[in-house]
Structure 1
Amino acid sequence: MFGPFRPSFVAQGGLLWKNPFRMSATRKANVRKRLRDVDQVIAAVEASGVRCKALDEALVLPKESEMHARDKYTVFSRYGLHHRKSLHKVPKFTKKTQRTSPPGF
């Protein structure tokens, strides 16, 4: 009960979410792969001849190969340090479409 494996209470300072400070190389590779997969889907839908507003907005976004590393692995955050936030700290970041930053950031 009082040994090294006793349960720690969150209210007493235990970590609830164990997010690493930096993204690992594996996570970065998975992000790049996910971006390339999205690019392939957008290209396939465009080639099929379907037109819609969502496709027009997606065609304006830069491709994975055209993006800066800053935009691949971080997103704009109003409250973050230097207005950037690491991508793995954003909930459901795979569903966000933030490939570009606001002007000036």
Structure 2
Amino acid sequence: MFGAFRPTNPLSGGLLWKIPWRLSKFQKARQRKRLRAVDSLVATLDTALTKKNITTKAVERWKEEMPIEQEMVPKDKYTIFDRKEKKYRKSMRKLPKWTRVSQRVNPPGY
């Protein structure tokens, strides 16, 4: 084709908007803040339920299985396990809706 509707070459192939592998320090701070907010919510729920002598399986299971933000290793805070990746880890931002999903527990050793 000639003229105004000429096809253009793609910019060095692949995606135009690339996602950096690492999180910035500001994104890491927001991630830690999110984790602490969930921890405080679970603690508030637990104290409110114990005052009324009520137990909930979901809250008890969360407290048993999920580590709090201070107990987590930085690798688990900012990356997630993915068996298809080269080193079995990928950046938290590669997960769709990564701000809403809890990814606290990962397989040991990876």
TM-score range (shorter-chain normalised) is 0.7 to 0.9
Q: Which runs of 5+ in 1 are unaligned?
A: 3-7
Q: Displacement, 1:19?
A: 1.6
Q: Which residue of 2 aligns with 1:70?
A: 75
Q: What is the aligned length?
A: 99
Q: Displacement, 1:14?
A: 6.0
Q: Which runs of 5+ in 2 are unaligned?
A: none
Taking structure 2 as the reference length, the TM-score comes to 0.76
Taking structure 1 as the reference length, the TM-score comes to 0.79
93, 100, 106: which one aligns with 1:88: 93
Runs of 4+ in 1 over 3 A off after TM superposition: none
Which is higher, the Rg of structure 1 or of structure 2? Answer: 2
Task: Say whether 1:54 aligns with 2:61.
Answer: no
Query: Would you tell me which structure has more helix in proportion to its own residues?
Result: 1
- Greater RCO structure (CA 8 Å; 6+ sep): 2
- Give me the whole-angstrom Cα distance separating, in 1, the residues matched to 2:45 and 2:95: 28
Identity %: 44
- Give me the whole-angstrom Cα distance separating, in 2, the residues matched to 1:58 and 1:39: 10
Task: Say whether 1:43 aligns with 2:5.
Answer: no
